[in-house]
């Protein structure tokens, strides 16, 4: 177990309004499922803080140990696991995603819907 | 692989009214898994998918599955 890495992942989950652990970045997506999740979030006007899991396999290990979710992407809203691409897509289609975003971030969440990328890698 | 996954799911969800595994690309490693079960009634989607993920943990760990899409439904 990599305690420092796990703490960094936990910090992103707990402090970012919407955290997306994905393969690649929003600008350069490396997996179809990460793309589907991003599109669903964008369509709902969500702010996105993305973490690329590809630079180090340990990121994925620690993330799944924390969340109990086996696959990538993983989407967290307000510190809570929402699910993977299938769930986020389904919730977007039913309107529940927007509802969840409003509840968690406030009704004006669309106004500050920026996309950014953060790294959880522990500096060498 | 499709039949194998289906039998794993049927064993895990004997009460399911529908279990279907589709090879989405024909390559034997991208699957769509559909399960309809009364066990999902009233359960949040996250927990429904968690049950399917747990059922398929062993085949998933084998590394032969590249991608799995999940669709779950209750019967209520």
User: Can you give the CATH number for the domain in which B56 is found?
Assistant: 3.30.300.90
Residue of B nearest to A67 (CA): B50
Reported residue count of chain A is 124
Considering only the beta carbons, identify the residue of B49, B50, B57 that sits closest to A86: B49
Domains, in order of start, for chain A:
3-116 (3.40.30.10)
Render pLDDT for A12-52 as a digit per residue (tens, 0 to 9). 999 999 999 999 999 999 999 999 999 999 999 999 999 99
Two tokens, residue A93: 């289609």
Strands A48-52 and A74-77 come out as: unpaired
Contact B69 A87 (CB under 8 A): no
Helix (H) or strand (E) holding B46: helix B45-55
Considering only the beta carbons, identify the residue of B50, B57, B69 that sits closest to A86: B69
Report the distance separating Cα A122 and Cα B60, nearest Å: 29
Domains contained in chain B, number = 1
Cα A114 from chain centroid (whole Å): 13
Range of the domain at B28: 2-73
Report the distance separating Cα A41 and Cα A50, nearest Å: 12
Contacts of B45 in chain A (CB under 8 A): 83, 87, 90-91
Render pLDDT for B5-16 as a digit per residue (tens, 0 to 9). 999 999 999 999
Contact A82 B53 (CB under 8 A): no
The pTM of this model reads 0.92
């Amino acid at each position: 177990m990599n305690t420092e890495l796990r703490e960094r992942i936990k910090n992103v989950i707990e402090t970012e309004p919407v955290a997306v652990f994905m393969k690649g970045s929003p600008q350069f997506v490396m997996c179809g499922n990460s793309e589907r999740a991003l599109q669903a979030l964008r369509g709902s006007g969500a702010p996105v803080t993305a973490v690329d899991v590809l630079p180090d396999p340990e990121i994925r290990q620690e993330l799944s140990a924390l969340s109990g979710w086996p696959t990538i992407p993983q989407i967290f809203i307000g510190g809570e696991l929402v699910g993977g691409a299938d769930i986020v897509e389904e919730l977007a289609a039913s309107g529940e995603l927007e509802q969840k975003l409003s509840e968690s971030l406030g009704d004006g969440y669309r106004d500050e819907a920026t996309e950014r990328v953060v790294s959880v890698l522990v500096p060498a | 692989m499709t039949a194998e996954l289906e039998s794993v799911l049927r064993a895990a969800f004997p009460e399911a009214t529908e279990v279907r595994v589709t090879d989405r690309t024909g390559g034997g490693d991208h699957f769509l898994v559909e399960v309809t079960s009364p066990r999902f009634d009233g359960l949040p989607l996250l927990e429904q998918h968690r049950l399917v993920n747990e059922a398929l943990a062993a085949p998933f760990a084998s590394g032969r599955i590249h991608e799995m899409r999940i669709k779950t439904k209750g019967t209520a």
